[in-house]
Amino acid sequence: MELEIKGKVVAITGASSGIGAAIARELAREGAKVVLGARRTERLRDLVEEIQNNGGEAAYSATDVRSREDLEKLVALACEQFGRLDVMVNNAGIAQLSRIDALDVESWDEMIDINLKGVLYGIAAAMPVFKKQGVGHVVNIISTSGLQIVPMQGVYAGTKNAVRTITEALRKESQGDIRVTGISPGYVQTELAGGMKDGEMRSAIQSSMAQMAISPDAIARAVAFAIGQPASVDVGDIVVRPALQQ
């Protein structure tokens, strides 16, 4: 089956590494024009150069998803450089795992700001363009943590399940004019665990990742599948996890 991706303009947050970078490479290979956002601009610059050297089209903008203005600039760049925006991929996210009664309120705020509000800000930036065009596609990268609730992941899973709810509500409200997809990765080989403050949790997650984590390319292919369907087809939910993951 040939995917209908060539020529589409796709904005991706959290694109400097891991899942976001893999999505950018995969979609560029399929002929999409990718507009990359993240805080680490040197990595974005290198990735854009890589994509262009391989014959693709790409641009980047410094993007902290905690800033509505940054996301508006990312969308504006897509429209200015490529004339439109077809897909908004809200991928940026962090994980700080701890018991709720540890009261790591600072980490709660950070996860809410990035994992939840960052997605809402991405939707808010893209929606006016989609409505003007009469077409668009929102892809939210969620997590299997929200599908199976376990200790130490309560607030992280809470932010992800909030995104899951918002994703489904937006799909129903859009009534087919705007496609909406939620993709929930399991253990993936990324830098996510490296940013965890709790050393014990960081080691535990890194150990699990070493045993079973799959390549970010697997998530990128799922995104490509969802984006590449005919306009009349809306892929609502995809779960992609290691075969070993329970």
CB atoms within 10 A of CB 119: 28
CATH number at residue 169: 3.40.50.720
pLDDT (tens digit, 9 = 90+) per residue, 220-244? 999 999 999 999 999 999 999 999 9
174, amino acid identity = S
Residue 245: inside a domain, yes or no? no
Residue 243: inside a domain, yes or no? no
Which residue out of 60, 121, 156, 187 is catalytically annotated?
A: 156
* Residues 238 and 19 sit within 8 Å (Cβ to Cβ): no
* Residues 35 and 77 sit within 8 Å (Cβ to Cβ): yes
Question: What is the phi/psi pair of residue 17, to 5°?
Answer: -165, 175
pLDDT (tens digit, 9 = 90+) per residue, 49-65? 999 999 999 999 999 99
Residue 2: inside a domain, yes or no? no
Residue 156 bears catalytic tag: yes
Say how far apart CA 174 and CA 34 lie, in whole Å: 24
Q: Are strands 178-185 and 237-240 parallel, antiparallel or unpaired?
A: parallel
pLDDT (tens digit, 9 = 90+) per residue, 10-45? 999 999 999 999 999 999 999 999 999 999 999 999
* The model scores a pTM over 0.75: yes
DSSP string, 27-58: HHHTT-EEEEEES-HHHHHHHHHHHHHTT-EE
Residue 122: inside a domain, yes or no? yes
Give the domain extent around 109: 9-238
Strand partners, 57: 33
